[in-house]
Structure 1
Amino acid sequence: MESLLCGHSLCDAMLYIPEDKVIFMGDLLFVDCHPTFFEESNPQKWIHILKEVERMDIDIAIPGHGSVGTKINFLQVIDYIHNLTTIAQKNNEIETIPLPNDYKNWPSPQIYHQNVKTLKELLHC
Protein backbone atom coordinates (compact mmCIF):
# COMPACT_ATOMS: atom_id res chain seq x y z
CA MET A 1 0.00 0.00 0.00
CA GLU A 2 3.02 2.28 0.31
CA SER A 3 2.87 3.00 -3.43
CA LEU A 4 -0.59 4.45 -2.84
CA LEU A 5 0.66 7.29 -0.65
CA CYS A 6 1.71 10.90 -1.21
CA GLY A 7 -0.49 11.96 -4.12
CA HIS A 8 -2.53 14.73 -2.53
CA SER A 9 -0.29 15.15 0.51
CA LEU A 10 2.27 13.37 2.65
CA CYS A 11 -0.46 12.10 4.98
CA ASP A 12 -2.73 10.40 2.41
CA ALA A 13 -4.73 7.52 3.83
CA MET A 14 -7.52 5.21 2.65
CA LEU A 15 -9.67 2.57 4.28
CA TYR A 16 -11.13 -0.17 2.09
CA ILE A 17 -13.89 -2.47 3.34
CA PRO A 18 -14.06 -5.13 0.60
CA GLU A 19 -17.10 -7.01 1.94
CA ASP A 20 -19.14 -3.78 1.73
CA LYS A 21 -17.44 -2.53 -1.45
CA VAL A 22 -16.79 0.80 0.28
CA ILE A 23 -13.63 2.88 0.36
CA PHE A 24 -12.92 5.93 2.49
CA MET A 25 -10.60 8.06 0.38
CA GLY A 26 -9.76 11.05 2.56
CA ASP A 27 -8.38 13.93 0.52
CA LEU A 28 -7.48 11.70 -2.41
CA LEU A 29 -11.08 12.13 -3.58
CA PHE A 30 -13.12 15.30 -3.93
CA VAL A 31 -16.68 15.03 -5.27
CA ASP A 32 -18.12 18.00 -7.18
CA CYS A 33 -15.66 20.41 -5.61
CA HIS A 34 -12.14 21.59 -6.39
CA PRO A 35 -9.38 19.32 -5.15
CA THR A 36 -6.64 21.29 -3.44
CA PHE A 37 -2.97 21.13 -4.38
CA PHE A 38 -0.13 21.77 -1.97
CA GLU A 39 3.60 22.07 -2.45
CA GLU A 40 3.92 18.41 -1.38
CA SER A 41 1.25 17.25 -3.85
CA ASN A 42 2.36 14.95 -6.63
CA PRO A 43 -0.21 15.21 -9.47
CA GLN A 44 1.13 12.24 -11.45
CA LYS A 45 1.22 10.00 -8.39
CA TRP A 46 -2.30 11.19 -7.44
CA ILE A 47 -3.54 10.11 -10.87
CA HIS A 48 -1.77 6.76 -10.48
CA ILE A 49 -3.38 6.22 -7.07
CA LEU A 50 -6.87 6.94 -8.41
CA LYS A 51 -6.35 4.61 -11.38
CA GLU A 52 -5.19 1.83 -9.06
CA VAL A 53 -8.15 2.28 -6.71
CA GLU A 54 -10.53 2.45 -9.67
CA ARG A 55 -9.61 -1.17 -10.47
CA MET A 56 -10.86 -2.32 -7.05
CA ASP A 57 -14.32 -3.75 -6.45
CA ILE A 58 -15.99 -0.59 -5.13
CA ASP A 59 -19.57 0.65 -5.21
CA ILE A 60 -19.26 3.57 -2.78
CA ALA A 61 -16.40 6.03 -2.32
CA ILE A 62 -16.42 8.36 0.67
CA PRO A 63 -14.41 11.49 -0.22
CA GLY A 64 -12.53 13.88 1.98
CA HIS A 65 -14.71 16.66 0.55
CA GLY A 66 -18.08 16.59 -1.17
CA SER A 67 -20.91 14.10 -1.18
CA VAL A 68 -20.66 10.32 -1.36
CA GLY A 69 -19.18 9.25 -4.67
CA THR A 70 -18.50 6.35 -6.99
CA LYS A 71 -15.73 5.31 -9.37
CA ILE A 72 -16.94 7.97 -11.82
CA ASN A 73 -15.68 10.59 -9.39
CA PHE A 74 -12.16 9.12 -9.60
CA LEU A 75 -12.23 9.89 -13.32
CA GLN A 76 -13.48 13.44 -12.64
CA VAL A 77 -10.51 14.13 -10.37
CA ILE A 78 -8.12 12.56 -12.91
CA ASP A 79 -9.58 14.79 -15.66
CA TYR A 80 -9.35 17.83 -13.36
CA ILE A 81 -5.66 17.17 -12.71
CA HIS A 82 -4.99 16.61 -16.44
CA ASN A 83 -6.90 19.78 -17.40
CA LEU A 84 -5.19 21.96 -14.83
CA THR A 85 -1.78 20.57 -15.71
CA THR A 86 -2.32 21.51 -19.35
CA ILE A 87 -3.56 24.97 -18.41
CA ALA A 88 -0.64 25.53 -16.02
CA GLN A 89 1.85 24.57 -18.73
CA LYS A 90 0.30 26.83 -21.38
CA ASN A 91 -0.60 30.00 -19.45
CA ASN A 92 1.46 32.61 -17.65
CA GLU A 93 -1.29 34.99 -16.52
CA ILE A 94 -3.21 32.77 -14.12
CA GLU A 95 -5.71 35.42 -13.01
CA THR A 96 -7.06 35.83 -16.54
CA ILE A 97 -7.77 32.14 -17.08
CA PRO A 98 -11.54 31.63 -17.19
CA LEU A 99 -13.10 29.01 -14.97
CA PRO A 100 -14.08 26.07 -17.24
CA ASN A 101 -17.80 25.30 -17.50
CA ASP A 102 -17.27 21.85 -15.96
CA TYR A 103 -16.34 23.50 -12.67
CA LYS A 104 -18.60 26.58 -12.62
CA ASN A 105 -21.12 25.04 -10.21
CA TRP A 106 -18.49 23.86 -7.75
CA PRO A 107 -18.10 25.82 -4.51
CA SER A 108 -15.05 28.01 -3.82
CA PRO A 109 -14.07 28.86 -7.42
CA GLN A 110 -11.03 30.80 -6.15
CA ILE A 111 -9.41 27.44 -5.40
CA TYR A 112 -9.21 26.83 -9.16
CA HIS A 113 -6.77 29.69 -9.76
CA GLN A 114 -4.79 28.82 -6.65
CA ASN A 115 -4.50 25.25 -7.95
CA VAL A 116 -3.21 26.45 -11.33
CA LYS A 117 -0.63 28.61 -9.55
CA THR A 118 0.47 25.72 -7.33
CA LEU A 119 0.69 23.36 -10.32
CA LYS A 120 2.85 25.87 -12.20
CA GLU A 121 5.23 25.85 -9.26
CA LEU A 122 5.18 22.05 -8.93
CA LEU A 123 5.79 21.59 -12.65
CA HIS A 124 8.37 24.42 -12.80
CA CYS A 125 6.54 26.07 -15.73
Structure 2
Amino acid sequence: MKTFAKNDFYFQLTIFVVISITVIIALLAGNEKIIWLFYFGIGISQLVSYLIRCSYNYKKSLIFKIYGYLILPIFPSLILLAIFGNIDTAAGVFIVIPIISFFYSPILAVLYLIDCHSFYKSQKQKP
Protein backbone atom coordinates (compact mmCIF):
# COMPACT_ATOMS: atom_id res chain seq x y z
CA MET A 1 0.00 0.00 0.00
CA LYS A 2 3.02 2.28 0.48
CA THR A 3 3.82 2.14 -3.20
CA PHE A 4 0.24 2.92 -4.18
CA ALA A 5 0.09 5.86 -1.74
CA LYS A 6 3.32 7.31 -3.13
CA ASN A 7 2.39 6.80 -6.79
CA ASP A 8 -1.16 8.04 -6.23
CA PHE A 9 -0.06 11.23 -4.52
CA TYR A 10 2.50 12.14 -7.16
CA PHE A 11 0.12 11.21 -9.99
CA GLN A 12 -2.70 13.32 -8.53
CA LEU A 13 -0.34 16.23 -7.91
CA THR A 14 1.05 16.05 -11.46
CA ILE A 15 -2.41 15.87 -13.04
CA PHE A 16 -3.62 18.77 -10.90
CA VAL A 17 -0.66 21.03 -11.68
CA VAL A 18 -0.49 20.24 -15.41
CA ILE A 19 -4.22 20.63 -16.01
CA SER A 20 -4.41 23.77 -13.85
CA ILE A 21 -1.57 25.43 -15.76
CA THR A 22 -3.07 24.37 -19.10
CA VAL A 23 -6.46 25.78 -18.15
CA ILE A 24 -5.00 29.07 -16.89
CA ILE A 25 -2.97 29.55 -20.09
CA ALA A 26 -5.98 28.70 -22.26
CA LEU A 27 -8.24 31.05 -20.30
CA LEU A 28 -5.71 33.86 -20.70
CA ALA A 29 -5.66 33.13 -24.44
CA GLY A 30 -9.44 33.49 -24.59
CA ASN A 31 -10.55 29.85 -24.70
CA GLU A 32 -13.33 29.60 -22.10
CA LYS A 33 -14.41 26.07 -23.04
CA ILE A 34 -11.17 24.59 -21.72
CA ILE A 35 -12.45 25.01 -18.14
CA TRP A 36 -14.24 21.69 -18.55
CA LEU A 37 -10.84 20.00 -18.81
CA PHE A 38 -10.21 21.06 -15.21
CA TYR A 39 -13.47 19.59 -14.00
CA PHE A 40 -13.42 16.34 -15.93
CA GLY A 41 -9.67 15.72 -16.19
CA ILE A 42 -8.96 16.19 -12.52
CA GLY A 43 -12.36 14.84 -11.47
CA ILE A 44 -12.05 11.54 -13.28
CA SER A 45 -8.49 10.91 -12.08
CA GLN A 46 -9.49 11.67 -8.50
CA LEU A 47 -12.60 9.52 -8.78
CA VAL A 48 -10.56 6.52 -9.94
CA SER A 49 -8.08 7.12 -7.12
CA TYR A 50 -10.94 7.45 -4.63
CA LEU A 51 -12.53 4.18 -5.73
CA ILE A 52 -9.20 2.34 -5.50
CA ARG A 53 -8.53 3.76 -2.04
CA CYS A 54 -12.03 2.68 -0.94
CA SER A 55 -11.01 -0.93 -1.56
CA TYR A 56 -8.09 -0.71 0.90
CA ASN A 57 -8.68 -1.52 4.53
CA TYR A 58 -7.45 1.44 6.55
CA LYS A 59 -9.00 4.19 8.66
CA LYS A 60 -10.48 6.73 6.25
CA SER A 61 -10.07 10.40 7.11
CA LEU A 62 -12.93 12.84 7.47
CA ILE A 63 -11.84 14.68 4.30
CA PHE A 64 -11.91 11.39 2.41
CA LYS A 65 -15.46 10.65 3.56
CA ILE A 66 -16.73 14.17 2.82
CA TYR A 67 -15.13 14.03 -0.62
CA GLY A 68 -16.94 10.80 -1.38
CA TYR A 69 -20.33 12.00 -0.19
CA LEU A 70 -20.12 15.18 -2.25
CA ILE A 71 -18.38 13.95 -5.42
CA LEU A 72 -19.87 10.51 -6.03
CA PRO A 73 -23.40 11.76 -6.87
CA ILE A 74 -22.09 13.97 -9.69
CA PHE A 75 -21.20 11.30 -12.22
CA PRO A 76 -24.43 9.25 -11.93
CA SER A 77 -26.46 12.44 -12.22
CA LEU A 78 -24.56 13.41 -15.39
CA ILE A 79 -25.19 9.96 -16.85
CA LEU A 80 -28.88 10.10 -15.94
CA LEU A 81 -29.07 13.60 -17.39
CA ALA A 82 -27.60 12.31 -20.65
CA ILE A 83 -30.14 9.47 -20.71
CA PHE A 84 -33.26 11.35 -19.57
CA GLY A 85 -32.27 14.88 -20.59
CA ASN A 86 -35.11 15.23 -23.08
CA ILE A 87 -37.72 14.86 -20.33
CA ASP A 88 -38.13 18.26 -18.66
CA THR A 89 -38.96 16.98 -15.17
CA ALA A 90 -36.10 14.47 -15.09
CA ALA A 91 -33.65 17.01 -16.49
CA GLY A 92 -34.64 19.49 -13.80
CA VAL A 93 -33.94 16.94 -11.08
CA PHE A 94 -30.65 15.61 -12.49
CA ILE A 95 -29.15 19.01 -13.36
CA VAL A 96 -29.22 20.35 -9.79
CA ILE A 97 -26.30 18.29 -8.49
CA PRO A 98 -23.84 19.14 -11.32
CA ILE A 99 -24.71 22.84 -11.13
CA ILE A 100 -24.11 22.97 -7.38
CA SER A 101 -20.93 20.90 -7.71
CA PHE A 102 -19.57 23.39 -10.25
CA PHE A 103 -18.85 25.68 -7.29
CA TYR A 104 -17.58 23.26 -4.65
CA SER A 105 -15.64 20.69 -6.69
CA PRO A 106 -12.46 22.83 -7.14
CA ILE A 107 -12.27 23.15 -3.35
CA LEU A 108 -12.78 19.41 -2.97
CA ALA A 109 -10.06 18.76 -5.56
CA VAL A 110 -7.55 20.67 -3.43
CA LEU A 111 -8.79 18.94 -0.26
CA TYR A 112 -8.38 15.56 -1.96
CA LEU A 113 -4.76 16.42 -2.77
CA ILE A 114 -4.20 17.33 0.87
CA ASP A 115 -5.77 14.03 1.91
CA CYS A 116 -3.60 12.09 -0.57
CA HIS A 117 -0.54 13.76 0.90
CA SER A 118 -1.51 12.91 4.48
CA PHE A 119 -2.31 9.33 3.41
CA TYR A 120 1.10 9.09 1.73
CA LYS A 121 2.87 10.46 4.82
CA SER A 122 1.03 8.03 7.11
CA GLN A 123 1.96 5.08 4.89
CA LYS A 124 5.56 6.27 4.61
CA GLN A 125 5.98 6.17 8.40
CA LYS A 126 4.86 2.54 8.65
CA PRO A 127 7.66 -0.05 8.76
Query: TM-score, normalised on structure 1?
Result: 0.35
Query: TM-score, normalised on structure 2?
Result: 0.34
Tell me which of the two structures has the higher relative contact order, counting C-alpha pairs closer than 8 angstroms and 6 or more residues apart.
2
Q: Which has the higher strand share?
A: 1
Q: Which has the higher helix share?
A: 2
Q: Which has the larger radius of gyration?
A: 2
